[in-house]
Amino acid sequence: MPLSTTTDLSPTTTAKLNRLNTLLRKIGPVPIAYSGGIDSTLVAKVAYDLFGDRALAITAISPSLLPEDLEDARVQAATIGIRHEEVQTHEMDNPDYTSNPINRCYFCKSELHDTLKPIALQRNFPYVIDGVNADDLSDYRPGIQAAKERGVRSPLAEVEITKAEVRDLSRALGLTWWEKPSQPCLSSRFPYGEEITIDKLRRVGRAEVHLRRLGWNELRVRSQGDTARIELPAEQIVDFVNQIALPDLVEKFQELGFLFVTLDLEGLQSGKLNRLLGIQTDRPTQNPSTSLNTDSYSLPMA
């Protein structure tokens, strides 16, 4: 298969794409932890261009993944042409996850990669790779440490591709979903310390799907007890208030199980709940757990 190439990019981004091709060719056709988000989908596209039918994307299915997002992942994989498999994960069986501590993502990614690691080993793959990008390293992401401990590689981060460059590359490579909003797992909608249950995940998920169907695609519905707090980009708030039938919206959310419905006047901010930890997410973290050392990667055998 040919390398992924395009002329519709800046010289810097083109150089990073070339480095990504070189790195993936060196790594080989290993399984991709594929969520259907634009990051892992870009990795899947470039891997497919390099390896064809030898490339493999694997999606983990759990209550924290919306059925609509799973369907998106299936459609995108089929559009690319990459082989796509699905596996069940069981993080909801782990009280260290459902109790929602500040390192909840560590237990989520531990479950994910403890599920993917045997698949890789059984098929004689040296690595699993994921869609972590360079910007992710400046946020509080304990899941990155869990992945590192299990030998996972992050090609986008290794060649310093940012989120904006992921979108530029996706558009240049003809991926029509290049503007797709980021969609962190539904468990990120709950304040740390509030127990996560399947019913709560379902409630938040259906609320977000309802708003998407009304035309508001970039959003979060934060769940705090029995209160839904809607976050939209700040520039969309006035239009939202003027265009939405608010009584109907409140009625719908109450049907889903919320008692109160609020609108966050600050607007959508990724990682906003991390403020409770006193963590600054707009500059590189000094936490060594999120640095990438690529000198020796392998899948632990035990």
139 and 271 Cβ atoms separated by less than 8 Å: yes
User: How does pLDDT run across 202-227, given as a tens digit for each residue?
Assistant: 999 999 999 999 999 999 999 999 99
Dihedral sign for Cα atoms in the order 15, 21, 26, 30: positive
pLDDT at 273: 72
Dig out the tokens for 11 from the structure. Answer: 């010289």
Nearest to 86 by CA among 107, 110, 115, 114: 115
302 pLDDT exceeds 90? no
Q: How confident is the model at residue 126 (pLDDT cuts 50, 70, 90)?
A: confident
Nearest to 171 by CA among 59, 41, 19: 41
Is residue 187 over pLDDT 50? yes
Residue 132's SS3 state is: coil
Task: Show me where the domains of the chain are located.
Answer: 11-179, 186-277
238 CB burial (10 A radius; 0-12, 13-18, 19+) = exposed
If residue 116 lies in a helix (H) or strand (E), which one and from where to where? helix 104-122
Which class is 11-179 in CATH? alpha beta
Residue carrying structure tokens 């870009």: 42
Tell whether domain 186-277 is in CATH 3.30.300. Answer: yes
Quick: pLDDT tens for 15-53: 999 999 999 999 999 999 999 999 999 999 999 999 999
SS3 state at 237: helix
Report the C-alpha dihedral over residues 232, 195, 110, 16, rounded to 10 degrees. 10
* Sheet bearing 227-231, strands edge to edge: 220-224, 227-231, 260-263
- 11-179 and 186-277: identical CATH topology: no
In the prediction, which pLDDT does 182 show?
Answer: 87
